[in-house]
Amino acid sequence: MLVRLPDGTVRAYRRGITLAEIARDAGAHGALAARLDGAERDLATPLEADATVEWLTFADPAGRSVYWHSSAHLLAQAVRELFPQARLAIGPPIEDGFYYDFDIGRPFLPEDLQRIEDRMRELAARDQPIERIYVPRDEAMRRFEGRGETYKAELLRGIPDDPVSFYRQDGFEDMCRGPHLPSTGRIKAIKLLSTSGAYWRGDERREMLQRIYGISFPSQEELDAYLARLEEARRRDHRRLGRELGLFTFAPEVGQGLPLWLPRGATVRRILERYIVDLEESLGYQHVRTPDLASIELYKISGHWEHYRDNMYPPIRVDSEELVLRPMNCPHHIMVYKHHQRSYRDLPVRIAELGTMYRYERSGVLSGLARVRAMTLNDAHIFCRPDQLTDEFIGVVRLIQRAYRDLGLRDFWYRLSLRDPRDRAKFVHNDEMWDHAEGELRRAMQALGLACVEARGEASFYGPKLDVQVPNVLGKDETISTVQIDFYLPERFGLEYTGEDSRPRRPVMIHRGVLSTMERMVAFLIEQYAGAFPLWLAPEQVRVLPIADRHLSYARRVQETLRARGVRAEVDASSERTGRKIREAEVMKVPYMLVVGDREAAQEAVSVRSRVRGDEGSQPLAAFIDRVTEAIASRRHDEE
């Protein structure tokens, strides 16, 4: 019997040899499970025919999934032992760790978590083998029903297998497809992270279960490193830095999810807004201003009132009108398009706005600036002829690339969100339109030479879109930019342009957001930079630090000179020592500190301290200003 190993070698083995034995023979010590002719299997699996084997280790995502899946079983075993009445639901591995959902008739308390974690360690230390067993279907159902395992019984009803596979360790059994680790002792370092409520099968009309989240690693060092990463993410949390750096705040008197931009935060936002508006204008976008309110009739035409009502604030009745706070800007921009007749020669028309919108978000989902109820989108709608669609799309992608470069975002990927043709309810019916639009997007991405991941079923209901995914501090992808093709709203609003043949034609719409909402972008950038904004975005770019009070007037003069050149500069006029002033400027992450004393005042100079390079010594004020204004203008990220 011949077995092809991952290094390409082929070895002969006797029939019936297990994957574990082959792993040992091949020196694959890190193997947790294997892929046998492409299918994931336990190491205990015996081989009966020629095969190709790949090892799953903790180093690859599939191997980690096996590891965390077994960890979830260990969690369930510990809970079952400590809470014999517990009913088990599901316990899968997730991107970072695992969870298990239980029904124990009450919530878990923090002290329960500690006990469970301790028990898991004891169980792992016993290093019991994890075995796969097969149970006839009706026998399994009898067992579940006999023990009141209603959730497992429901799961089994959804599985056609007979017999069904179970995994058994140390007397504990759980229905599971596998694969799993060979033994519980492989789980070396365990941390239970949190508990929460979770709806059974994610359905808010069904039972609320108690979920425990955890993570595990093959060594304590790896666990410690993971926990340190979590700590680092907490340190960079935009809500914490927003308060510490005086960027924004919330007041219960104002309302939930309604941010107050403080001067420093408002400055960052204003710089971003100026940047993107200037950039868009240079690319032929026309910026408009439209009101935050509109008649409900507008949203009845657009379909939002029908499809999006749950996220809209209820109408305000005045005189004979009913007004709503707008949840989206597109209908307003469509009305701008309709202001006058358009010729095929006018297209494309690119209508842009920093459009403020209001969405009713359920209170539980609000989170700092990342999830708010009042937000301003860097929005635009491109109205073009069908033959211009590809070029316009390419133009938007290039704009996104440019903006990301200036913002220092290097890590991102493209997701092509397509319809799921089987899901007839979620997407408007017009297969020809969809096929055409999806094909256009694919071709455009090819023309750009950009790789993208296709995501079936992620399209919006009216058309396919390109989402730009950027990993945040925790490594989770966030959608920042999006480009959506829309054949639907032009139809609803009866949009037209006059074709070459003088006949009315229907334009295509592209909805696009580049910087996302200002709220979300600033939240993202705070975390990205850990509050240390690059020079061009820093709310305070330079702080002048007089050594003693007699240097105050020179410090003021330096400040005025900088401000006259457009540099955001402050003076620390406190009577503190220089060390203290430096510390405070460092804490506020000011990019440049200028220490000025007798020597500097006498020579029209400044002693430059960079927040990253430290003391750079004295230089003429004029030279510093030239250097700093050049660095700001070029939006360099390596100026420091």
Partner RNA sequence: GCCGGCGUAGCUCAGUGGGAGAGCAGCGCACUCGUAAUGCGCAGGUCAGGGGUUCGAAUCCCCUCGCCGGCUCCA
Q: Which has the closest alpha carbon to 193: 241, 238, 232, 231?
A: 231
Q: Residue 507 in contact with residue 496, Cβ under 8 Å?
A: yes
Q: What is d(CA 581, CA 407) in angstroms, rounded to the nearest whole number?
A: 29
Terminal alpha carbon distance of the chain: 62
* Shortest distance (Å) from residue 31 CB to RNA: 31
Strands 605-610 and 569-571: unpaired
The amino acid sitting at 386 is: P
256 binds RNA (CB under 7 A): yes
Q: Which has the closest alpha carbon to 344: 502, 510, 511, 495?
A: 502
Strands 51-56 and 33-36: antiparallel
231 binds RNA (CB under 7 A): no
Q: What is d(CA 383, CA 485) in angstroms, rounded to the nearest whole number?
A: 10
Q: 610 pairs with which residues across the strands?
A: 592, 614
472 binds RNA (CB under 7 A): no
307 binds RNA (CB under 7 A): no
Which of 211, 568 has the CB closer to RNA?
211
Segment near RNA (CB under 7 A); pick from 191-199, 344-352, 431-439, 500-508? 191-199
561 binds RNA (CB under 7 A): no
261 binds RNA (CB under 7 A): no
Binding mask 384-423 for RNA (x = CB under 7 A): ----------------------------------------
Which of 251, 318 has the CB closer to RNA?
251
Mapping DSSP to helix (H, G, I), strand (E, B) and coil, where does residue 467 land? strand
Query: Using CB under 7 A, which residues numbered 486 to 525 contact RNA?
Result: 513, 516-517, 519-520
The single residue listed with the structure tokens 């032992």 is: 81
Which of 174, 600 has the CB closer to RNA?
600
171 binds RNA (CB under 7 A): no
Which of 257, 534 has the CB closer to RNA?
257
302 binds RNA (CB under 7 A): no
Q: Residue 532 in contact with residue 582, Cβ under 8 Å?
A: no
Which of 372, 407 has the CB closer to RNA?
372
362 binds RNA (CB under 7 A): yes
Size of the site for RNA (CB under 7 A): 71
Applying CB under 7 A, among 136, 197, 457, 475 the residue interacting with RNA is 197
As given in the structure block, the two tokens for residue 515 are 């910087």
- Output the CA–CA distances (angstroms, integers) from residue 502 to 88, 347, 349, 499, in the order listed: 68, 15, 19, 5
* Shortest distance (Å) from residue 581 CB to RNA: 8
Applying CB under 7 A, among 167, 226, 250, 493 the residue interacting with RNA is 250
Which of 605, 631 has the CB closer to RNA?
605
Number of residues in the chain:
640
Query: Using CB under 7 A, which residues numbered 565 to 604 contact RNA?
Result: 575-580, 582-583, 586-587, 593, 595-600
* Shortest distance (Å) from residue 377 CB to RNA: 7
Segment near RNA (CB under 7 A); pick from 19-27, 59-67, 477-485, 626-634? 477-485
Which of 54, 486 has the CB closer to RNA?
486
* Shortest distance (Å) from residue 600 CB to RNA: 6
The DSSP secondary structure of 351-396, one letter per residue, reads: EEEEEEEE----GGG-BTTTB-SEEEEEEEEEEE-GGGHHHHHHHH
* Shortest distance (Å) from residue 256 CB to RNA: 4
Segment near RNA (CB under 7 A); pick from 82-90, 165-173, 536-544, 613-621? 613-621
Which of 66, 521 has the CB closer to RNA?
521
The helix (run of H) or strand (run of E) holding residue 595 is strand 592-596
342 binds RNA (CB under 7 A): no
325 binds RNA (CB under 7 A): no
619 binds RNA (CB under 7 A): no
Applying CB under 7 A, among 141, 155, 208, 394 the residue interacting with RNA is 208
Bin 305: left if φ > 0, else alpha if -120 < ψ < 50, else beta.
Answer: alpha
As given in the structure block, the two tokens for residue 508 are 């295509």
Query: Using CB under 7 A, which residues numbered 10 to 49 contact RNA?
Result: none
Half-sphere exposure of 322 (CA within 13 A, CB side): 9
109 binds RNA (CB under 7 A): yes
Q: What is d(CA 55, CA 34) in angstroms, rounded to the nearest whole number?
A: 4
290 binds RNA (CB under 7 A): no
The DSSP secondary structure of 233-258, one letter per residue, reads: HHHH-HHHHHHHTT-EE--TTT-TT-
Which of 17, 366 has the CB closer to RNA?
366
Which of 250, 497 has the CB closer to RNA?
250
Applying CB under 7 A, among 287, 309, 371, 557 the residue interacting with RNA is 371
User: Three-class SS string for 156-197?
Assistant: HHCCCCCCEEEEEECCEEEECCCCCCCEHHHCCEEEEEEEEE
* Shortest distance (Å) from residue 565 CB to RNA: 21
Q: What share of the chain is helix, strand, coil (3-state, %, to 5)?
A: 40, 30, 35
Residues whose CB is less than 8 angstroms from the CB of residue 94 and which lie 6 or more positions away in sequence, other chains included: 68
Q: What is d(CA 571, CA 552) in angstroms, rounded to the nearest whole number?
A: 8
Sign of torsion over alpha carbons 619, 625, 631, 634: negative
607 binds RNA (CB under 7 A): yes
As given in the structure block, the two tokens for residue 506 are 């229907």
* Shortest distance (Å) from residue 562 CB to RNA: 17
Q: What is d(CA 464, CA 487) in angstroms, rounded to the nearest whole number?
A: 10
* Shortest distance (Å) from residue 389 CB to RNA: 21
Binding mask 143-162 for RNA (x = CB under 7 A): --------------------
* Shortest distance (Å) from residue 37 CB to RNA: 33
Applying CB under 7 A, among 35, 41, 381, 609 the residue interacting with RNA is 609
Q: Which has the closest alpha carbon to 537: 268, 298, 199, 200?
A: 268
Applying CB under 7 A, among 158, 202, 451, 503 the residue interacting with RNA is 202
* Shortest distance (Å) from residue 48 CB to RNA: 40
Residues whose CB is less than 8 angstroms from the CB of residue 275 and which lie 6 or more positions away in sequence, other chains included: 406
Which of 375, 399 has the CB closer to RNA?
375
282 binds RNA (CB under 7 A): no
Q: What is d(CA 435, CA 477) in angstroms, rounded to the nearest whole number?
A: 27
326 binds RNA (CB under 7 A): no
Which of 47, 518 has the CB closer to RNA?
518
The DSSP 8-state label assigned to residue 327 in this structure reads S
359 binds RNA (CB under 7 A): yes
